[in-house]
Amino acid sequence: MKKISIILAAAALLGACAQPKPQAFSVIPQPAEVTINDGVYCVKGAAVHFEDDLDEASMAAVLRFIDALETATGVQCKWEEGGFNFEADEALAPEAYTIEIDKSGVEVKAADLNGFVYACETLKQMLPAAIYGGKKAKADWVLPYASIQDQPRFAYRGMHLDPCRHFWTIEETKRYLDVMTAYKLNRFHWHLTEDQGWRMEVKKYPKLTEIGAWRDGTVIKKDWNSNDGIRYGGFYTQDEMKEIVAYAAARGITVIPEIDLPGHMVAALAAYPELGCTGGPYEVWTRWGVSEHILCAGNEQIYTFLEDVFTELMDIFPSEYIHIGGDECFPEDKALPWDNCPKCAALMKKLGIKKGPEAKHYLQNYVTARVQAFLNEHGRKIIGWDEILEGELAPGATVMSWRGTRGGIKAAAKGFDVVMTPTDYAYFDYYQSYERDKEPFGIGGYLPLEKVYSYEPLDGMTPGSEDHILGVQANLWTEYIATPEHLEYMLLPRMCALAETQWCAADAKDYDRFVTSLDHTFEILDAMGVKYCLDYRGLIGLDRQPARASVAMAEYMATKEWHW
C-alpha cells in the first residue's frame, strides 16, 4: 500500500508573507504519496528556473502556471535560480511527477508534458483558490513544505461530451477542457455526429453541415413526438476542431473524435439519402431515441463515404484511437430496413451470413471491420461502444462498456482492451438528487456523487484480464442539457469523484476525505466561475433549494444497495 502521511503544517513567519497560513491540503485527485512538513514557502515574486532539458510543450505548461501565479499575486516572478525549479527526469514513469518544497524552494520533476501539467495542477490546488480567478487577489501566497510523488492508476482517464443534442461553442468546449485539466483527465471523447445533428465540417461532403447540422425543432420535456419548432444547430469548422485539438494537447489531453456508425446517422442520411437502405427522404431528427434508419451496409458507396470522412478526420485529429460508435443500431420496436433491403440481402448472401436474429450483428461486424481495416492501414485503432462485441468482433478493437459492466468484463476476458463507462456509475446526464422536481429537467436515472465515487472498475473481472482495462470514462449526453450552467451542474462535482477512481489506487480512495477536499474545489470552481451541484449537502438544483426532510432522504438512501 502506498504511504500517505499528512502532518499538519504550522504557519511560519517568512520574508514578505506575514504570518501566512497554507491552504489545507485538499488536492483532488489525492496524490499517491504526500508528506506535509512544518513551514511554508512564499511564492509571491518567487524565482523560477527551467533546467535545459525541458521540452517546449512542458515549458509552455509551466509558463501558464507562472502566469496565473503572477496575475493572482500581482507580483512578477524573477527568472533566476533559487525558487521554483522545473527539471525533466526520464527515470519517472509517463505522467508521473514529484514535488519537493522546503526552504530552498520548489523542486518539480516529471518525464513528460503530462507530468508537468499535473505537477502544476497540484501546486495550484495547494495554493489559495484565487489562483484560478484570473485577477489579483489578497491571500496567503504560500505553499506548505511538502514531499509529493504521484502517478495515475489508469492510463485512460476520459470524459465525453455530446455537442449534437445540444451544441457547445469552441469557447465552452475549452472551458470543459480546463475543468478536465484541473482534475488530471487526459482523454476528451468528442461525440461529433448524431441523428439530431452532424457537427464536423467535411469538405468533400458539404451537405453534412449545410443540411445535417440543423434541425427544425427540439423535443420539449418527455413528449418525444412533438417539438418546439425552433431551428437549432451548428457545426465546427476544421480549423476550429484543430484549435480544440491543440488546446487539449497543450494540457496533456488527447481528443478522441467519434463518428457514430452505422447507426445514429439520420442527420447524414438527411444530407445524403442515397446512403440509406430506403433512399429516404430523411429529416434531421427532432426527437430523441433510436432510429431504424442507418447506413445501408450493402451499398458500397457508404464505405467510400466513410473512408472520405475518416480521411479528413485523421487530418484534424492525431489521436491513435478513433471512436466509431456502433451503439443502438437496431430498435426493437421497429422493422429494420436492413431486413428488407436487396443490397443488404445480397451482401449477407455473399458473406454467408445466415438469416435469423443474429444476422444483423454479423452484418454490423462487417461494417465495423471494413472501417477498422481502413483506419488500421493509416496507423489508427478503433474504439466502439460495447454493441460491437456482438457477433464476431475483429481483433485489435477497443470496447467501451456502457450497458453496465458486463460487456467490458466479457471483452477483457476475450482479450480486447476496454474502457469502462457503465451507465450505473458514469452517466452524468442522470439526476443527482432524489428530488427531481427541484433539479433542472433531465432524461431520468439517478446517479448521486457517492455512487460515482464508489465505482471500482476491476470488480467482477475474470482473473488475468485486468490489464485489458485501459481506464474509465464518464459520459455527458445532452438531450435535455441546453446551457453551459446546466452542463457544468451535471459535470461537477461528479467528475471530481470520477477523477479519483481514474487516478487513485483503490485502497487510497476515501469518501470522507474526498468530500472534505471538495470544500476547496468549490472555492476553485467559484473562482473559475463554473457551476456545480450541491445535492450531497442537501441543496438541490441550480438555485440550491433545501432538500425536503432529511428523514425522507435517509429512508430513500437506505433502499440503495450501493450505499456505503
**Beta carbon nearer to ligand ACM, 17 or 474:** 474
**Cβ burial, residue 410 (10 Å; 0-12/13-18/19+):** middle
With CB under 5 to 8 Å by kind, the binding choice for 341 among Zn ion, ligand ACM, none is Zn ion
Residue nearest to ligand ACM (CB): 327
With CB under 5 to 8 Å by kind, the binding choice for 504 among Zn ion, ligand ACM, none is none
Q: Which range, of 149-157, 190-198, 220-228, 270-278, touches Zn ion by CB under 5 A?
A: 270-278
Among 9, 244, 259, 277, binds Zn ion (CB under 5 A): 277
Among 344, 359, 449, 495, binds Zn ion (CB under 5 A): 344
Q: What's the closest the beta carbon of residue 474 comes to ligand ACM, in angstroms?
A: 11
Contact between 341 and Zn ion (CB under 5 A)?
yes
**Beta carbon nearer to Zn ion, 115 or 298:** 298
In contact, 220 and 228? CB cutoff 8 Å: yes
With CB under 5 to 8 Å by kind, the binding choice for 298 among ligand ACM, Zn ion, none is Zn ion
**Beta carbon nearer to ligand ACM, 345 or 443:** 443
The position carrying cell 425536503 is: 548
CA pair distance 84, 99, nearest whole angstrom: 10
The position carrying cell 474504439 is: 383
**Beta carbon nearer to ligand ACM, 148 or 164:** 164
Contact between 298 and Zn ion (CB under 5 A)?
yes
For residue 203, the one-letter residue type is K
Q: Which range, of 35-43, 144-152, 340-348, 369-377, touches Zn ion by CB under 5 A?
A: 340-348
With CB under 5 to 8 Å by kind, the binding choice for 87 among Zn ion, ligand ACM, none is none
Q: What's the closest the beta carbon of residue 384 comes to ligand ACM, in angstroms?
A: 10
The rounded Cα 551 to chain-centroid distance in angstroms is 35
Q: How far is CA 503 from CA 62, 150, 509, 515, in A?
A: 21, 9, 10, 16
**Beta carbon nearer to ligand ACM, 117 or 329:** 329
Contact between 348 and Zn ion (CB under 5 A)?
no
Which secondary-structure segment (H or E) carries 171? helix 170-182
Grid cell at residue 279: 433512399
* Chain positions contacting ligand ACM, by CB under 6 A: 327-328, 385, 402
With CB under 5 to 8 Å by kind, the binding choice for 277 among Zn ion, ligand ACM, none is Zn ion
Q: How many CB atoms lie within 10 A of CB 187?
A: 24
Contact between 343 and Zn ion (CB under 5 A)?
yes
- Provide the phi-psi class of 541: left if phi over 0, else alpha when psi is between -120 and 50, else beta: left
Under rule CB under 5 A, how many of the chain's residues touch Zn ion?
Answer: 6
- Provide the phi-psi class of 31: left if phi over 0, else alpha when psi is between -120 and 50, else beta: beta
CA pair distance 452, 540, nearest whole angstrom: 17
Q: Which range, of 261-269, 289-297, 301-309, 460-468, touches Zn ion by CB under 5 A?
A: 289-297
Grid cell at residue 85: 525549479
In contact, 194 and 267? CB cutoff 8 Å: yes
Which secondary-structure segment (H or E) carries 425? helix 423-426
With CB under 5 to 8 Å by kind, the binding choice for 402 among ligand ACM, Zn ion, none is ligand ACM
Q: What's the closest the beta carbon of residue 451 comes to ligand ACM, in angstroms?
A: 18
For residue 381, the one-letter residue type is K
446: β partners: 431
Which residues are at the interface with Zn ion (CB under 5 A)? 277, 296, 298, 341, 343-344
